Amino acid sequence: MAVRLPAMEDATPAGTRVKHVVVVGAGIGGLSAAAVLARAGLDVTVLEAHIYAGGCAGTFFHQGYRFDAGATLAAGFYPGGPMDALARAAGIPAWPVRPEEPALTVHLPQGDPIQRWSDPTRWIAERARVNGPAESFWEWQEQTAAAVWALASALPPWPPASLPELTDLARIGVSVLRHLPSGLHAGSLAVDALTSAARHLPAAHPQLRLFVDGQLLISAQTTSAHANALYAAAALDLPRRGVVQAEGGMGAIAHTLAESIKRLGGRVLYRHEVTAIRMHAGAPVSVETRRGGSFPVDVLILNLTPWNAAALLGSDAPYRLRRLPEHPAGWGAFTVYAGIDASVVPDGFPLHHQVILRQPLGEGNSAFLSISPAWDAARAPAGRRAVTLSTHTRLDSWRGLEKDGPAYSEREAVYTERLFGAAERVLPGIRSAAGLVLPGTPDTFVRFTRRIGGWVGGFPQTSLFRSFAPRLAPAIWLAGDSIFPGQSVAATALGGLRVAHAVLRSLGTCLEHPAAGQQLAGDAIR
Ligand SMILES: Cc1cc2nc3c(=O)[nH]c(=O)nc-3n(C[C@H](O)[C@H](O)[C@H](O)COP(=O)(O)OP(=O)(O)OC[C@H]3O[C@@H](n4cnc5c(N)ncnc54)[C@H](O)[C@@H]3O)c2cc1C
């Protein structure tokens, strides 16, 4: 809830040098923006409600296990990729990650498992084995993805919210179009910007379509009939560009960012739930926490869902936030965290699996299973492995169920069994090998990430025009998976980088160390 102050003695008058950046929420998007801004010499404070960083990409400790709470598959760490760009901009020498092959294994209702190799030769051979005549689809996907990632890496101001942003966008677009791969034309990109990925899928290949639908559900939050073609091409590309395993779990990425912010003189404060923003003359002046803390602010970055941002800003929320539908349209997640006997996992077994049992996808008909690596002793007690299972679930079917009521418990038990049913397809015996079983519902995500309604994964990528422009007001920015380029660790990192870049540009000569900021902005747009 936002509180209007009629007058503030210590309010920073407009136009003076910016001193304080406050980031609400230590998710990947907020941490990325914070790290880059701290490196540029700004005074950065990240306020996080929970006891550790990472939000949906955090790792929690329980009874000797470190379970990935949501995100398990880390991509985008290749040279020139989003995480590499972030590391360079934030001055992070190296991420604590190891490469992983195959990137993931997909189990369709029929046929052998399909390996998504990052190694190009093996992937081309694998897709030829599974759906040979559909090679033209993958050629389109790879060429289009190259153009889209080139565009996204230039941090385009999408959707443009002002004339300078439109000019900037045109400049970046022209530069990308000049370097299109042969075989790709501006005209076909323009059509793809407005149509769905299904246009490129041959009707005669239902297996290919199901495979693509499964991949798009986890990367674009919708299937090929609805996913925007440009977004889909880029999202399908991430496994091909390499997957890594973070040492100690996915939370190590957020931890690295948090440590980097502190090293650069910033603060990351846990157990600091923000409950109010104090405003004066349309600008934020301080951020208040549940524990009674008050933090002066010149630039406010809300690494929150639009619904959370709207609730915090209250009557000061911009029109766009005030006209949001009551409930977010999109997905929640049902998860199971299981501590299993390691003997059930064969040596060298792939660590990430998507299982599709039947359609429609989600609700336990499809599931994602990730196993902690045998080499990572920090993840589980000796002889055990930490497993995260998840499935997409519609939020309206959970809404209104009493958390302590029998209907809720029954539904939780049904979904837990569905996920183990899917996991048995991959690892026979996993159900009885699981000593510790912790189910997570959309309510669990509300509790641990504060995301209103348990809405996760951002907006399903049905249209390029759906995501939020990050600038909510002159000194208030939105970061996280609701801004372009959307959900995932890599995409929210890129979004955070983009917000940092835009903040630095908006500050112009107000930077404490202008040279650092300009260098950084130049780097990011190269
Ligand atoms: C089940 C599941 C599986 C996923 N799998 C993958 C995957 O395999 N690979 C991948 O790349 N991505 C995956 N994702 C997506 C990815 O996790 C998210 O897109 C990304 O982590 C979202 O980051 P964010 O920056 O939007 O912040 P969030 O993760 O939403 O974090 C927001 C933070 O803000 C804090 N906060 C909220 N309100 C307040 C407040 N008032 N005051 C202070 N702090 C507050 C929260 O505690 C939280 O830490 C998955 C997501 C889920 C849910």
At residue 49, the 3 state secondary structure works out as coil
> 52-56, 402-406, 506-510: lowest mean pLDDT where?
506-510
Nearest CA owner, ligand 1 atom 5: 71
Nearest CA owner, ligand 1 atom 12: 488
Query: Does the pLDDT value for residue 2 go beyond 70?
Result: no
Query: Does the pLDDT value for residue 517 go beyond 60?
Result: no
DSSP for 410-438?
HHHHHHHHHHHHHHHHHSTTHHHHEEEEE
**Confidence bin at 520 (pLDDT 50/70/90):** very low
Tokens of 409: 């418990």
Sign of CA dihedral 215, 217, 221, 223: positive
Q: Which atom of ligand 1 is nearest to the CA of 486?
A: 19
Query: Does the pLDDT value for residue 442 go beyond 90?
Result: yes
Query: Does the pLDDT value for residue 15 go beyond 60?
Result: no
DSSP character at residue 96: S
Sign of CA dihedral 211, 456, 486, 223: positive
Cα-only R_g, the chain:
22
Query: Does the pLDDT value for residue 523 go beyond 90?
Result: no
Q: Angle at Cα 503 formed by Cα 498 and Cα 507, nearest 5°?
A: 150
For the Cβ of 303 lying below 6 angstroms from any atom of ligand 1, the answer is yes
C-beta of residue 515 within 8 angstroms of C-beta of residue 40: no
For the Cβ of 304 lying below 6 angstroms from any atom of ligand 1, the answer is yes
Tokens of 393: 């679930």
For the Cβ of 268 lying below 6 angstroms from any atom of ligand 1, the answer is no
Task: State residue 421's pLDDT score.
Answer: 98
What's the CA gap between 90 and 102, in Å, rounded? 29
**Confidence bin at 415 (pLDDT 50/70/90):** very high
For the Cβ of 502 lying below 6 angstroms from any atom of ligand 1, the answer is no
**CA 185–ligand 1 middle distance (angstroms):** 36
**Confidence bin at 466 (pLDDT 50/70/90):** confident
Tokens of 90: 């934030």
Nearest CA owner, ligand 1 atom 32: 27
For the Cβ of 341 lying below 6 angstroms from any atom of ligand 1, the answer is no
For the Cβ of 482 lying below 6 angstroms from any atom of ligand 1, the answer is no
469: left (phi > 0), else alpha (psi -120 to 50), else beta? beta
The candidate with the shortest Cα–Cα distance to 213, out of 235, 184, 193, 191, is: 235
For the Cβ of 57 lying below 6 angstroms from any atom of ligand 1, the answer is yes
Sign of CA dihedral 299, 305, 311, 315: positive
Q: Which atom of ligand 1 is nearest to the CA of 25?
A: 34
C-beta of residue 198 within 8 angstroms of C-beta of residue 222: no
Query: Does the pLDDT value for residue 515 go beyond 50?
Result: no
Instruction: List, for residues 300-326, the tens digit of each pLDDT value.
Output: 999 999 999 999 999 999 999 999 999
What's the CA gap between 209 and 415, in Å, rounded? 26
Single-letter amino acid, residue 197: A
> 54-63, 105-114, 180-189: lowest mean pLDDT where?
180-189
Average pLDDT, the chain: 90
For the Cβ of 470 lying below 6 angstroms from any atom of ligand 1, the answer is no
At residue 122, the 3 state secondary structure works out as helix
**CA 428–ligand 1 middle distance (angstroms):** 31
Instruction: List, for residues 86-123, the tens digit of each pLDDT value.
Output: 999 999 999 999 999 999 999 999 999 999 999 999 99
Single-letter amino acid, residue 82: P
Query: Does the pLDDT value for residue 7 go beyond 50?
Result: no
Q: Which atom of ligand 1 is nearest to the CA of 54?
A: 49
Q: What are phi and psi of 337, to 5 degrees?
A: -105, 120
For the stretch 166-170, contacts whose Cβ atoms lie closer than 8 Å and that sit 24 or more positions apart, written own/partner, are: none
Instruction: List, for residues 335-363, the tens digit of each pLDDT value.
Output: 999 999 999 999 999 999 999 999 999 99
C-beta of residue 316 within 8 angstroms of C-beta of residue 38: no
What's the CA gap between 298 and 278, in Å, rounded? 11
| % the chain with pLDDT above 70 | 93
Task: State residue 400's pLDDT score.
Answer: 83
